[in-house]
Amino acid sequence: MNLTLLILLPLLTAVVILLMRSGVQVKWSALIGASVQFVLALILFFAFRKERASGNEAQMLFELQYKWFPSWHISFHLGVDGISVAMILLTAFVVIAGVLVSWNVEKMTKEFYLLLVLLSLGAYGFFISLDLFILFFFLEIAVIPKYLLIGIWGSGKKEYAANKLALMLMGGSALVLVGLLGLYFNGTEKTFDLLLLSKMQIPVMVQKICFPLLFVGFGVFTALFPFHTWVPDGHSSAPTAGSMFLAGISMKLGGYGCLRVATYLMPEGAREYANIIIVLSAIAILYGAFATMMQKDLKYINAYSSVSHCGFVLLGIGMLTKTAIAGAVMQMVSHGLMTALFFAVIGMIYERTHTREVNEMGGLIKVMPFITTVLFIVGLCSLGLPGLSGFVAEMSIFMGSWQNPDPFHRIATIAACMSIVVTAVYILRAIGKTAMGPINDRYLLLEDAKWNEKLAAIILIAGIIAIGIAPFWLNDLITPAADEIMHKVAGK
Amino acid sequence: MLNDFLLLMKSELVLAFILFLLLIIKVGKEVTNERLLSLIQILLLGNFIYGFFFIESGSLFGGMYITNGLIAFQKSIISLGIYLISLLFSDWLKKSEHLPEFFILLLSAVLGMFFLISSGNLLMFYLSLELATIPVAAMANFDLDKKISSEASMKMILSSALSSGVLLFGISLIYGATGTIGFDQIPTLLDGSSLQILAFVFLFTAFAFKLSIVPFHLWTADVYEGSPMAVTSFLSVISKGAIAFILLTTLYKVFAPMHILWYNMVMLLSLITMVVGNLFALRQQNIKRFLAFSSIAQVGFILLGLSSHSIEGTSSVVYFVLIYVFSNLAAFGVAGAISQSYGKELIEDYKGLYQTNPFISWVLALSLFSLAGIPPTAGFFGKLFLITAGASKGNYFFIIVAALNMIISLYYYLRIVRAVFMDKNDQPIAKINLDPSTKLGMIICTAGIILIGLLSWVYDYITTLSI
């Protein structure tokens, strides 16, 4: 399958949206674009499995290489391995759900959908690029749409949040840029090509300098402590689809970059700094969980819990075992689906009750059974109920972590495990107060979900349950790729 | 000989031809401004297109005048810039009482710049620099009824006189130290003696004045603010570009043997320029002053690329100037359209612009993103290549500072984007009726901003020229 399709299709969708006149036309063209993209992602998934089943052991499949700025040793090099395929599937799920959920956006509909499509374009491009320059290009493409989405369609302190997000993410990418230049100039030959760089021996001294730059730079995107502060503000101020894209896709760009670029290319650096990563991510996990306990606003609850959940991703990477890394990728997929669904539900509730304060709600199950059921499912997934995706991912991270026998890793693992209890507390409390209890008279006339909201929720729930009860298909996809990374890190 | 003369100096000759044509029209019978402007636009377009034909390399007058593919391309960038200016500010130009004079002055300044880029001798360099400066000072005074405009002109003429003095002193020192003023001979005679270093410092100071490198930037903001928008854009884009091109030649060819000596100086000045330009831009309320300080910061980036002393350095600087022409002129074009229609030049006035004028809002936003270096606009590629070229010497501390500067600059560019798209305003600027040629200029700029980066052959072409 030709990977450029994944980039060209959003581009085409964007052009079509630009040409459309009425809001309805814009919505439908965005939906059609997202659906075709969804189908493409599924085709990619099955084509990938078929190739692998037929014995194609190449590290990257469907590779493509076009000339682009040859004098800087840049090429438009695309290709996917299991991890990328998993992330593309995630993106496709979240994008289609995001488009469906924003059906009610009336203010500047065209611009809104255009920015959503551009954001998804950045994510797709990022996950399939095998050239660090293009990777960086796509990483930065996604920043400005986020800024505008929050600033124009957001709520609350939207300007502040938008500015904070844009500047912190740009700061992160500035660090990434310096790290990339370090790699470019210090390999045995100048190149931005990921596969070529992975075969080179990069001097240990350079790794020690560039690894933290790249890891922290990408880490900003994925809420690495103490650079997580944009997450609560950004997520809670963004419009529903914006939050879904931010938490579901955009934070995963960072995790993917940490794994694919920082850890894979600089194994010595990764080993050098692994303990610091573990400490920081353990702090993020616990701090995020405890901070969530104090929140009264549903969006803030999910935003802080995202900090905690994304901490697991970095913890998995820092543990440097095959199972943990596979678990980290799974956690990315699982958290992406889950948090997107959570934000979607919060958006649906907010649209009806016009409040996000947990204390002002209650008994919503009586008037909107569908929405509250979805809320239960997503809450249970978040606290790690077996049978849903959260459990699978966290479980494999813990199992991978436990493979490190020394006390330091054990203590970090136990500390991270404890957060699950806290998660259970805040999730159950929030859901309970929202759905159960006596209903406020104001809410008696509210309606349940409409077709578009139901469809969005069902698509995401399907993903969550598919991972939860049959994790092997995702595991089979990720493990060989994680193996390849570990192989390099272990230096064998 | 005559053949050579006609062929090698073809771009200057065409320009001089247009200049004389305008003079004849001026003394001849009355022509309406609209028709004259259309004629000028067509002539300038022809001039730009003609620049890509009959490109030869060679030298004239015993090495005083040099030309080659790269120099021809640099001249084409300038031709493109003046063509865009004639389009973007057509509203203002049509209402001007002295339209022919404006273009006569502008074209003589451009003629000076062409000779400047082609100069192969310090004397030629000095003469053409003066030719490129003095008409601009007269242009700065073109808002004849505004006091601030004459103040700008006065400040400009004084500061450029000072810098010319410094330059002459530097040239005389170089002549004293090496006994020659030819660009070919100087490098062979440079040995890094203290007199030569002193001469270089004086020479560089003159460049610093013209490029408004910190700490020689103080005239910039006042002059920009006072001049009419068309002149401000000419000053900040075309003049800067031309000086950057000749600085490229001077550093890479003439002072190549002293590379180790000037590397640290250029690097340090680049950082100071970036930081100071950015910090001052943060607080500006007037859009012209704002663009003035942001252009100072951009010059810092140009210096960063210049410091590398390599083919990458040459090509990335030329490439960046090309992109800078599109992005900065688009920003000035929008600011000029607003200022021409409603006389508003404060960033505060831009609040809610998107509601009434979506087209120019997008043009403004794209140009600001390009200036800030955000993909997929061309500015991203331009800045990234400058930084990469600067990093080739392995000075990562400087690179980190430069990268952090991109964040500061993003902050203030986003301030305008925020005012335009997000802030609420009960009385936003009303709908502006754009002149068709202004619109055309904006569309060309937008196309340039989007395409120059994505089409990598533009950069490859510049690289092949730079070798």
Between B428 and A376, name the one with better pLDDT.
A376
Q: Stretch B24-39: mean pLDDT, rounded?
A: 83
CB-nearest partner of A147 from B392, B403, B414:
B414
CB-nearest partner of A141 from B375, B404, B414:
B375
pLDDT tens sequence across B386-419: 998 888 877 788 888 888 888 889 888 988 988 8
A162 to B422: CB separation less than 8 angstroms, yes or no: yes
A141 to B376: CB separation less than 8 angstroms, yes or no: yes
Question: CA torsion angle for B233, B234, B237, B243 (degrees, to 10)?
Answer: -150
Predicted pLDDT of residue B98: 84
Q: Is the pLDDT of residue B205 over 70?
A: yes
Q: How far is CA B362 from the centre of its chain?
A: 23
B459 to A71: CB separation less than 8 angstroms, yes or no: yes
Contacts of A1 by beta carbon, 8 Å cutoff, 6+ apart: A43, A44, A47, A62
Predicted pLDDT of residue A12: 92
Q: Name the H helices within A102-203.
A: 109-128, 132-141, 143-153, 158-186, 194-199
Looking at CA atoms only, how far is residue A305 from chain B in angstroms? 28
Q: Stretch A219-237: mean pLDDT, rounded?
A: 87
Name chain B contacts of A69, Cβ cutoff 8 Å.
Answer: 381, 456, 459-460
Q: Is the pLDDT of residue B59 over 90?
A: no
CB-nearest partner of B399 from A71, A143, A178:
A178
Q: Where are the domains of chain A?
A: 4-490
What are the structure tokens assigned to A421, written together?
């209890």
DSSP-derived pairing of the beta strands A75-80 and A61-67: antiparallel
Percent of chain B with pLDDT over 70: 100
Q: Is the pLDDT of residue B73 over 60?
A: yes
Predicted pLDDT of residue B131: 92
B376 to A159: CB separation less than 8 angstroms, yes or no: no
What are the structure tokens assigned to A91, written together?
């993106």
pLDDT tens sequence across B292-333: 889 999 999 999 988 888 888 899 999 999 999 999 999 999
Quick one: pLDDT band at residue B184, thresholds 50, 70, 90? confident
CB-nearest partner of B406 from A144, A170, A182:
A170
Q: Is the pLDDT of residue B431 over 90?
A: no
Three-state SS letters, A177-238: HHHHHHHHHHCCCCCCEHHHHHHCCCCHHHHHHHHHHHHHHHHHHCCCCCCCCHHHHHHHHC
Output the CA torsion sign for B134, B136, B142, B143. Answer: negative
Q: Is the pLDDT of residue A157 over 90?
A: no
Q: Is the distance from CB of B453 to CB of B382 less than 8 angstroms?
A: yes
Strand partners for B65 = B60, B119
Three-state SS letters, chain B: CHHHHHHHCHHHHHHHHHHHHHHHHHHCCCCCHHHHHHHHHHHHHHHHHHCCCCCCCEEECCCCEEECHHHHHHHHHHHHHHHHHHHHCHHHHHHCCCHHHHHHHHHHHHHHHHHHHHECEHHHHHHHHHHHHHHHHHHHCCCCCCHHHHHHHHHHHHHHHHHHHHHHHHHHHHHHHHCCCECCHHHHHCCCCHHHHHHHHHHHHHHHHHHCCCCCCHHHHHHHHHCCHHHHHHHHHHHHHHHHHHHHHHHHHHCHHHHHHHHHHHHHHHHHHHHHHHHHHHCCCEHHHHHHHHHHHHHHHHHHHHCCCCHHHHHHHHHHHHHHHHHHHHHHHHHHHHHHHHCCCEHHHHCCHHHHCHHHHHHHHHHHHHHHCCCCCHHHHHHHHHHHHHHCCCCHHHHHHHHHHHHHHHHHHHHHHHHHHCCCCCCCCCCCCCCHHHHHHHHHHHHHHHHHHHCHHHHHHHHHHHC
CB-nearest partner of A174 from B388, B407, B417:
B407
B460 to A178: CB separation less than 8 angstroms, yes or no: no
Q: Which of A157, A176, A177, A227 is the best substitution to test chain B (most B C-beta atoms within 10 A)?
A: A177
Q: Which of A73, A144, A169 is the best substitution to test chain B (most B C-beta atoms within 10 A)?
A: A144
Q: Is the pLDDT of residue A492 over 70?
A: no
Query: How far, in Å, CA of B32 to CA of B106, rounded?
Result: 20
B456 to A162: CB separation less than 8 angstroms, yes or no: no
pTM here is: 0.92
The length of chain A in residues reads: 492
pLDDT tens sequence across A379-431: 888 888 888 888 888 888 888 888 888 888 888 888 888 888 888 888 888 88
Count the Cβ atoms, other than its own, within 10 Å of residue B262.
20
- Collapsed DSSP state (helix, strand, coil) of residue A12: helix
Predicted pLDDT of residue B369: 92
Looking at CA atoms only, how far is residue A461 from chain B in angstroms? 34
**DSSP 8-class letter at A250:** I
Query: How far, in Å, CA of A41 to CA of A92, rounded?
Result: 7
Name the residue among A220, A109, A90 with its Cα closest to residue A168: A220
Quick one: pLDDT band at residue A225, thresholds 50, 70, 90? confident
Dihedral pair phi/psi, residue B53, rounded to 5° = -105, 160
What are the structure tokens assigned to A247, written together?
């938490």
Predicted pLDDT of residue A235: 86
Query: How far, in Å, CA of B82 to CA of B86, rounded?
Result: 6
Strand partners for A193 = A131
Q: How many A/B residue pairs have CB atoms within 8 Å? A: 82
Name chain B contacts of A227, Cβ cutoff 8 Å.
Answer: none
Q: Which residue does chain B place closest to A167, by CA atoms? A: B407
pLDDT tens sequence across B263-288: 888 889 999 999 999 998 888 888 88
Name the residue among A280, A305, A166 with its Cα closest to residue A219: A280
Name chain B contacts of A67, Cβ cutoff 8 Å.
Answer: 456
Predicted pLDDT of residue B1: 64
CA angle B383, B305, B206 (to 5 degrees): 120
Predicted pLDDT of residue A206: 86
Listed by number, the residues of chain A in 175-234 with a beta carbon closer than 8 Å to a beta carbon of chain B are 175, 177-178, 181-182, 184-185, 209
A174 to B384: CB separation less than 8 angstroms, yes or no: no
Count the Cβ atoms, other than its own, within 10 Å of residue A370.
17
Quick one: pLDDT band at residue B442, thresholds 50, 70, 90? very high
A159 to B456: CB separation less than 8 angstroms, yes or no: no
What are the structure tokens assigned to B459, written together?
């950069």
CB-nearest partner of A71 from B369, B423, B460:
B460
Query: How far, in Å, CA of A243 to CA of B274, rounded?
Result: 35
Instruction: Encode burial over A295-304: b for 16+ CB neighbours within 10 A, e otherwise.
Output: bebbbbbbbb
CB-nearest partner of B399 from A144, A171, A181:
A181
Q: Stretch A445-452: mean pLDDT, rounded?
A: 81
Tokens 């089409």 locate to B455
Cβ-based interface (< 8 Å): residues of B facing A: 312, 315, 369, 374-376, 380-381, 384-385, 387-388, 391-392, 394, 396, 399-400, 403-404, 406-407, 410-411, 414, 417-418, 421-423, 456, 459-460, 463
Q: Is the pLDDT of residue B154 over 80?
A: yes
Q: Mean pLDDT over all residues of chain A? A: 88
CB-nearest partner of B421 from A137, A143, A152:
A152
Query: How far, in Å, CA of B134 to CA of B126, rounded?
Result: 12
A158 touches chain B (CB under 8 A): yes
Q: Which of B315, B362, B368, B421 is the best substitution to test chain A (most A C-beta atoms within 10 A)?
A: B421
Between B8 and A133, name the one with better pLDDT.
A133
Query: How far, in Å, CA of A491 to CA of B411, rounded?
Result: 43
Q: Which of B316, B377, B411, B414 is the best substitution to test chain A (most A C-beta atoms within 10 A)?
A: B414
Name chain A contacts of B456, Cβ cutoff 8 Å.
Answer: 67-70
CB-nearest partner of B403 from A68, A140, A177:
A177
Query: How far, in Å, CA of A49 to CA of B326, rounded?
Result: 47
CB-nearest partner of A140 from B374, B396, B404:
B374
Among A363-367, B20-24, B129-133, the range scoring the smallest mean pLDDT is A363-367
Between A448 and A461, name the one with better pLDDT.
A461
Query: How far, in Å, CA of B432 to CA of A407, rounded?
Result: 70
Looking at CA atoms only, how far is residue B440 from chain A in angstroms? 19
- Sort B424 into a burial class: Cβ within 10 Å, 0-12 / 13-18 / 19+: exposed
pLDDT tens sequence across A21-72: 888 888 899 899 999 999 999 999 999 888 888 888 888 888 888 888 888 8
Bond into A145 cis (ω within 30): no
Looking at CA atoms only, how far is residue A105 from chain B in angstroms? 16
Name chain A contacts of B407, Cβ cutoff 8 Å.
Answer: 167, 170-171, 174
pLDDT tens sequence across A328-374: 999 999 999 999 999 999 888 888 888 888 888 878 888 888 888 88
Q: Is the distance from CB of A434 to CB of A362 less than 8 angstroms?
A: yes
Output the CA torsion sign for B400, B406, B407, B408. Answer: positive
Predicted pLDDT of residue B115: 92
B410 to A167: CB separation less than 8 angstroms, yes or no: yes
Predicted pLDDT of residue B77: 93
B418 to A159: CB separation less than 8 angstroms, yes or no: yes
A209 to B410: CB separation less than 8 angstroms, yes or no: no
A151 to B418: CB separation less than 8 angstroms, yes or no: yes
Name chain B contacts of A175, Cβ cutoff 8 Å.
Answer: 400, 403
Q: Which residue does chain A place closest to B464, by CA atoms? A: A71
Predicted pLDDT of residue B185: 87
Dihedral pair phi/psi, residue B195, rounded to 5° = -65, -40
Name the residue among B184, B177, B190, B319 with its Cα closest to residue B262: B190
Whole-angstrom CA distances from A248 to A303, A346, A388, B251, B323 are 11, 14, 17, 50, 35
A162 to B404: CB separation less than 8 angstroms, yes or no: no
Q: Mean pLDDT over all residues of chain B? A: 88
Quick one: pLDDT band at residue B78, thresholds 50, 70, 90? very high
- Sort A359 into a burial class: Cβ within 10 Å, 0-12 / 13-18 / 19+: exposed
